[in-house]
Amino acid sequence: MQECKGMGFSTKAVHAGEIRYNEYGSITTPIVQTSTFIFKNIAEIQQLAEGKAGRFEYGRYGHPTQLAAEGKLAAIEGAEDAVLFSSGMSAITTSMFALLKAGDHIIITDDAYKRTLDFSKTCLDRFDIECTVVKMCDYEAIERAIKPNTRIFFSESPTNPYLNIMDLERLMKIFKGRDILVISDSTFATPYNQRPLEYGVHIVIHSCTKYLGGHNDLLSGVVLSKKELTDPIREYLKITGGVIDPHSSYLLIRGLKTFELRIKRHNANGQKIAEYLEKHPKVERVYYPGLPSHPHYDVAKSQMAGFGGVVTFKVRDDVEYVLKFLSRLKFVNIGPSLGGVESLITHPASVSYYSVPRQERIALGITDGLIRLAVGVENARDIINDIDQALRFA
């Protein structure tokens, strides 16, 4: 397996994890589409039982296409090991279950991905695992929330939809010398824009469904860390079964090969569009960490190489106006998700938060006029023109 140690980001993204001369001589890694692996004889089975054979046994325990994708992800994140899952949520839930036990306590920040919060607040509780939700970036509150049985601190950066940025240096000072695992969901940042492991964060998680896959055509999640932490998570995955399938593994490998090119375009497009929207007469407020008006601009600038493609903005608090605006868009598609080549736009109040009562939703900052744009890799001028014509005539 190629490691590409000391090589550049894109060299790793293109080559790492793959076998240079595989048995077919194909330049691409084969999609080993199988559920099980066969043995030539009993000696081979015995070798496997004794842990001597570097071979595969059964699809749920791992397969060659997954292994290649994991090697690539570990190389670009600078992690000792990577474990792939069938989705980002599978990566998060399997890791928590693998690392926690009854009687433990976790701390999570309040603007984490809604489903991660739902899991932490409601599912873990049923297993006698206590959860404290703290305000994102309230470092005093984070420290105050620590208890003798705290086992995990979980947060994201940037967060959805306001793109709050955790100051990783400050955060890790709080957890220095404590027996608490700090997990960072770095989906919105990607390994190109932010490097949490270099700040001492113990585990990084990404939904590969977003920028890493990059083409809105697969679901996957990854956990990156030292082997002493990924080993128990990988063992637990063998039980919970949320394994990535061979075809998605291949799509992920293919997407990763162009990842640096794509993320640079997302960064450039995000910046241009955020700057444009900030001056737009119909836009009340823009949230983008690359704008000096963002509350965490200074931290973002010192900690990130780029700010990604998600731009959140507010128009007037009028659901009818927002829905009319969305329906007038010509090629920017209405839909959840982010990080793909196609631009997507969503109205959190009527999509991800539709089931939350209005008052509660507004208290969470999900106002009627809030819009999240996930900029793709199209030409920035065309995205701007599409949004402009829809905003002006709605």
Q: Which is nearer to ligand PLP, 246 or 340 (CB)?
A: 340
Per CB under 6 A, does 88 bind ligand PLP? yes
Binding mask 215-244 for ligand PLP (x = CB under 6 A): ----x-x-----------------------
Contact of 152 with 106, CB cutoff 8 Å = yes
Comparing CB distances to ligand PLP, the nearer of 65 and 155 is 155
Return the range that interacts with ligand PLP (CB under 6 A); candidates 82-90, 138-146, 247-255, 275-283. Answer: 82-90
Q: Which helix (H) or strand (E) holds 225?
A: strand 221-225
135 versus 282: smaller Cβ distance to ligand PLP: 135
Using the rule CB under 6 A, which residue among 2, 209, 267, 303 binds ligand PLP? 209
In the complex, least distance from residue 308 CB atom to ligand PLP, rounded to whole angstroms: 11
In sequence order, the β-bridge partners of residue 312 are 287, 372
* CA separation for the pair 49, 264 (Å, rounded): 46
Query: Taking CB positions, which residue lies at the least distance from ligand PLP?
Result: 88
**Under rule CB under 6 A, which residues in 134-193 are in contact with ligand PLP?**
156, 160, 185, 187-188
Maximum distance among all Cα pairs of the chain, rounded to whole angstroms: 74
User: Which of the stretches 27-35, 45-53, 86-94, 357-365 binds ligand PLP when contact is defined by CB under 6 A?
Assistant: 86-94
What 3-state DSSP class applies to 266? helix
Residue 68 to residue 244: CA distance in whole angstroms: 12
- Residue 60 CB, nearest approach to ligand PLP (Å): 18
CB 240 within 8 A of CB 91: no
User: Could you say which of 113, 236, 250, 259 contacts ligand PLP (CB under 6 A)?
Assistant: 113
Smaller CB distance to ligand PLP: residue 160 or 249?
A: 160
Cα 145 to Cα 131: distance, rounded to the nearest angstrom: 10
Nearer to ligand PLP among residue 106 and residue 394 (C-beta): 106
Distance CA 73, CA 222 (A): 8
For residues 233 and 224, what is the distance between their CA atoms, to the nearest angstrom? Answer: 10
Q: Which residues does 5 contact at the CB level (< 8 Å), separation at least 6? A: none
Residues 6+ positions from 236 with CB-CB distance below 8 Å: 94, 97, 98
Q: How far is the CB of 154 from ligand PLP (least distance, A)?
A: 11
Nearer to ligand PLP, 196 or 221 (CB): 221
Paired residues of 224 in beta bridges: 82, 204
87 touches ligand PLP by CB under 6 A: yes
What six digits make up the tokens of 113? 């991905």
Interacting residues with ligand PLP (CB under 6 A): 87-89, 113, 156, 160, 185, 187-188, 207, 209, 219, 221
